[in-house]
Amino acid sequence: MGIRIPAGPALAVGISLVAFGYMYYQLKGSGGETANYAISYDEPKGWDPVPHGPQTLFLYKHPKTGLLLRGAQNQVVSDVNPTPELDSRGMAQYYIDRTKENLPDWKAELAGEVAADGVKFNLIRRSRNGKTVVTAFGVRGNTTLIVSLSGADDEQKSIDSGGMDFLRDYVGQVSFAKADPLKRSPTASIPAIMR
């Protein structure tokens, strides 16, 4: 004969398994990539390093133009991607929307894409009288790198006369390599020149 399980408990177990599978799919299966990446980049030639706070990955100043190059990194350590819609393009659009919504004296526009090693960057250009900021957003999995080039007053002219090309070239050399969460490299996110 075999073991007979009453229909009520068997049905409850079946529904529970289906519900668990659905929740797992919703959290993990459809939530986008969840890996973290080690970011490698080179120090820009001819730029001077500038002391910076803990929220900044790097900060450089060009000695002739006065332009600032700033990088910031964020990583979420989780089995889910809490914001899969905020990929590189989504982040760029989010900043454009918030700029238009909250900073009426600023103009914001998309400024193209750059393919790098393991990640695509979307650029935006934001400006107002006396200030210009161009920002590149690179997102892969749960790792985000934001690189901005900014200038005020006369420095703004340098952004339009070569600064945009410099930023595109600079983020084009960035590399995102999958990080082993149990073996974090001591050189992750350190400029290659400093290793």
Report the SS3 class of residue 173. coil
What residue type is assigned to position 54 of the chain? Answer: P
Residues 62 and 11 in one domain: no
Residues 93 and 24 in one domain: no
Length of the chain: 195
CATH number at residue 110: 3.40.1000.10
112-166 per-position pLDDT tens digit: 999 999 999 999 999 999 999 999 999 999 999 999 999 998 888 889 888 999 9
**Ramachandran bin of 181, using left for φ above 0, alpha for ψ from -120 to 50, beta for the remaining angles:** alpha
Residues 55 and 73 in one domain: yes
162 C-beta neighbours (distance < 10 Å), count: 12
Q: How many domains does the chain have?
A: 2
Residues 153 and 170 in one domain: yes
62-91 per-position pLDDT tens digit: 999 999 999 999 999 888 888 899 999 999
Task: Please compute Rg for the chain using Cα positions.
Answer: 22
Residues 41 and 26 in one domain: no
